Structure 1
Amino acid sequence: MTKAIYRNEHQVLIKLLKAIRSNTGLTQNDCSKALGRPQSYISDVETGLRRLDLVQLRDLCAVLGYTLPQFVEEYEAALLTP
């Protein structure tokens, strides 16, 4: 099985996270500060260099104004969109 970071599903995940952050008007720095992390943390997530575990994803969703179930619903819909 191909590593997750090389799968289309991972690309959709990071593209969606970046789009949501951008749509909320938050910068990478804003999100990083809210999470108590350096700006490079969000940059690494959005470029696919850093993977998030479920707890980290939930924290990031909260900063973006989403619940984890809301995010997962959008993610699943994005996977179905060509």
Structure 2
Amino acid sequence: MSSIHDPRYKKLIQELISIRESKKVTQVELATSLNKPQSYVAKVENLDRRLDILELTDWLTALDISIIQFIEKTFTEGA
């Protein structure tokens, strides 16, 4: 199984999407904050591109969420 299709990775991306949507941030707005094209955000959210830890940190910073808070919420709630 490709690591991009690992259920834990899918959960991580789903949580990123949920956070972005709850903050009413569009893909375009997030991409602009990251100095990336909108297609970058779309590819990550569609599981066509994998985030590394540095990109994840940048993504969370743009959404004003600490990485510790994100990991605790994503991997300890309902685990």
DSSP 3-state at the match of 1:49:
coil
DSSP 3-state at the match of 1:25:
coil
Structure 1: gaps of 5 or more residues: none
Are the equivalent residues in 2 in contact too, given 1:12–1:79 (CA < 8 A)?
no
Question: Counterpart of 1:23 in structure 2: which amino acid?
Answer: S
Q: CA-atom RMSD, angstroms?
A: 1.2
Which has the larger helix fraction? 1
Distance 1:48 1:37 in 2: 17
Moved over 6 A (4+): none
Distance 2:9 2:48 in 1: 11
State the TM-score, normalized to the length of structure 1: 0.89
**1:11 Cα deviation (Å)?**
1.1
User: What's 1:14 paired with?
Assistant: 13
Q: 1:79 to 1:42 in 2, by over 3 A?
A: farther
Identity across matched positions, percent: 32
- The number of residues matched between the two structures is 79
Q: 1:8 to 1:79 in 2, by over 3 A?
A: farther
The answer to whether structure 1 residue 75 and structure 2 residue 74 are counterparts is: yes
Structure 2: gaps of 5 or more residues: none
User: What's 2:56 paired with?
Assistant: 57
**1:40 Cα deviation (Å)?**
0.5
State the TM-score, normalized to the length of structure 2: 0.92
